């Protein structure tokens, strides 16, 4: 149902863009015929807005990964370097909180470890909203800052590192949906103690869950119906545990993919002195307005990486 709702919303958005484009084209033809410059200028602005919306829609439909539609859990950790790195981690934390606000997402702080003198050692928060994980997964990696240190009287340039990692927020409750067609149910005579009735009737039940190969059986009760109920209860519990283990393994695999917070592993560099530039090393994108980026303006990097990945031009997440 969630997937169906998401598809319906996308179709509705696409239909609206198409209708507005047709209307704009019609008005454009009329404005050209009448040489109406004021209307032509208005239509130019309308066309630009439609282009931005179409680009945004194209980006959204790229987010078709299994977890892209989920909320995101973001973890920021200062690298080695004490106060310098901790102050940089705090700057990144502010950057992402501002981005969350701009997107209209909801932010919930999970954990915040302050630094000894300034900044933070680490921060973890959830960003809740449409495709939050799909967007933020492109921010995973080491972020490098170059600046003249405000904590060093010598005024020398200093390089600091901090890491960002993003997890999809998995459902707290695993729903075990078992379809009848996926089950093979066998009945047989109980072999254990239980008296004449148990040994002479086919009250024992064995259930095989065909997709997973899990087999459970129960023969402790005299009633076949009761044995079946108990066996189904065990099957649900085992399937639940199996899915939980899959989720745990998935999160562990994501965690193990973290790179060292140091030279050579950074995905992006933020240079404040002697010049101002933010460079994403994965796609070669440079942005000169560092203040705008640090105030949450990271969409050009997110969109650039997602587009490059869809075309096979950047490393996979």
The string of pLDDT tens digits covering residues 267-292 is 999 999 889 999 999 999 999 999 99
Q: Which residue has the higher pLDDT, 111 or 248?
A: 111
Q: Which pLDDT belongs to residue 317?
A: 41
Q: Which pLDDT belongs to residue 281?
A: 94
At residue 107, φ and ψ (nearest 5 deg) are -110, 135
Q: Which pLDDT belongs to residue 315?
A: 46
pLDDT tier, 242 (very low <50, low <70, confident <90, very high otherwise): confident
Please give the tally of structural domains in the chain: 2
Model pTM? 0.67
Domain containing 12 equals: 2-62
Last residue within a domain, chosen from 31, 46, 62: 62
Residue 215 lies in a domain: yes
CB contact at 8 A, 189 and 201: yes
Residue 190 lies in a domain: yes
Q: Which pLDDT belongs to residue 259?
A: 52
Average pLDDT over residues 90-101: 97
pLDDT in tens, 63-85: 877 788 889 999 999 998 789 99
CB contact at 8 A, 81 and 170: no
CB contact at 8 A, 217 and 160: no
Q: Which residue has the higher pLDDT, 139 or 149?
A: 139
Last residue within a domain, chosen from 11, 40, 62: 62
Last residue within a domain, chosen from 202, 221, 251: 251
211 vs 214: CA distance, rounded Å? 8
Residue 43 lies in a domain: yes
**CATH code (residue 231):** 3.30.160.20
Residue 265 lies in a domain: no
């Amino acid at each position: 149902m969630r997937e169906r709702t998401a598809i319906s919303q996308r179709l509705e958005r696409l239909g609206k863009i198409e209708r507005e484009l047709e209307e704009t084209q019609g008005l454009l033809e009329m404005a050209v015929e009448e040489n109406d410059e004021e209307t032509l200028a208005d239509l130019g602005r309308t066309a630009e807005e439609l282009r931005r919306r179409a680009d945004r829609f194209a980006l959204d439909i790229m987010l078709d990964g299994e977890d892209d539609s989920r909320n995101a859990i973001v973890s920021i950790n200062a690298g080695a370097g004490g106060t310098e790195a901790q102050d940089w981690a705090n700057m990144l934390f502010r950057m992402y909180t501002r981005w969350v606000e701009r997107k209209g997402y909801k932010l919930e702080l999970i954990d915040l470890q302050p630094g000894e003198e300034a900044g933070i050692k680490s921060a973890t928060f959830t960003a809740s909203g449409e495709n939050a994980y799909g967007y933020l997964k492109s921010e995973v990696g080491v972020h490098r800052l170059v600046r003249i240190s405000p904590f060093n009287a010598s005024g020398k340039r200093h390089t600091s590192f901090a890491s960002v990692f993003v997890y999809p927020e998995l459902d707290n409750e695993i729903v075990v949906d078992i379809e009848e067609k996926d089950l093979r149910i066998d009945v047989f005579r109980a072999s254990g103690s239980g008296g004449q009735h148990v040994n002479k009737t086919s009250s024992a039940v064995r259930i095989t869950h065909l997709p997973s190969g899990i087999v459970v059986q129960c023969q402790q009760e005299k009633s076949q119906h009761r044995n079946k109920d108990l066996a189904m209860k065990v099957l649900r519990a085992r399937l639940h545990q199996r899915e939980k283990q899959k989720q745990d393994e998935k999160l562990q695999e994501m965690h193990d993919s973290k790179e060292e917070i140091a030279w050579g592993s950074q995905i992006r560099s933020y240079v404040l002195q002697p010049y101002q530039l933010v460079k994403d090393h994965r796609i070669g994108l440079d942005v000169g307005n560092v203040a705008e980026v640090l105030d949450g303006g990271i969409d050009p990097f997110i969109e650039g990486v997602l587009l490059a990945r869809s075309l096979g031009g950047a490393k996979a997440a």
